[in-house]
Amino acid sequence: MGRAKHYQQEIEGLEEYVKGLVLREGIISECPYHSGIYLSEDYDYTPVFKIIAAEYKSGGLSHFSSQREATDFAKSTIDDVAGEECCSCEKWKHS
Ligand SMILES: [Zn+2]
Segments forming the whole domain that contains residue 21: 3-93
CATH number, domain with residue 61: 1.10.10
Tally of domains within the chain? 1
Rounded distance from Cα 93 to ligand 1 centre (Å): 10
Q: Given this model, what pLDDT does residue 42 score?
A: 74
Rounded distance from Cα 32 to ligand 1 centre (Å): 7
Rounded distance from Cα 84 to ligand 1 centre (Å): 11
Around ion ligand 1, residues with a beta carbon closer than 5 Å are 31, 33-34, 86, 88-89
pLDDT tens column, 17-43: 889 989 998 889 999 999 989 998 777
Which is it for the CA torsion 36, 90, 41, 43, positive or negative?
A: positive
Global pTM reads 0.76
CA–CA separation, 90 and 95 (whole Å) = 9
